[in-house]
Structure formats: structure tokens, C-alpha cells
Amino acid sequence: MLRYAVIFLIIALVAGFLGFGGISGTSNEIARILFFVFLVLFVISLLTGRRTNLFK
């Protein structure tokens, strides 16, 4: 998911450079949403991930 966020960020940067403001803004928002979804899922996986017993 982080990969898609980076891809949309690159699309936004290229579109902004070429003067396509609407596409740039939309790609920027999609990248931002995907990044925050990735961040939330990452934190949840850290909190509920498998825990190993070190004292077996």
C-alpha cells in the first residue's frame, strides 16, 4: 500500500510540473489517504502482531 502511495505522489509531482492542476491535486489526495491508511494498518499490526515467548 505504501508503494501505491509513492506512485500516486510521483504522478502528482509530474502532473504538477506539467501544469495539470486537477490531476495533481487528485493524485496528491489519493497518496495522502493511502499513506494514512498504511500508517493505521501498520500501527494495528504492531500492536496485535504475533509475539514470541523468549523464555521457552
Is 8 exposed, middle or buried, given 0-12, 13-18 or 19+ CB atoms closer than 10 A?
buried
Q: What is the structure's pLDDT at 40?
A: 93
| Residues 3-54: tens digit of each pLDDT | 888 888 888 889 888 888 888 888 888 889 999 999 998 888 888 876 666 5
The single-letter code of the amino acid at 19 is G
Q: What is the structure's pLDDT at 51?
A: 65
Give CA–CA dist 16/23, Å, rounded.
8
* Domain-wise residue ranges, the chain: 2-37
Q: What is the structure's pLDDT at 55?
A: 64
pTM comes to 0.70
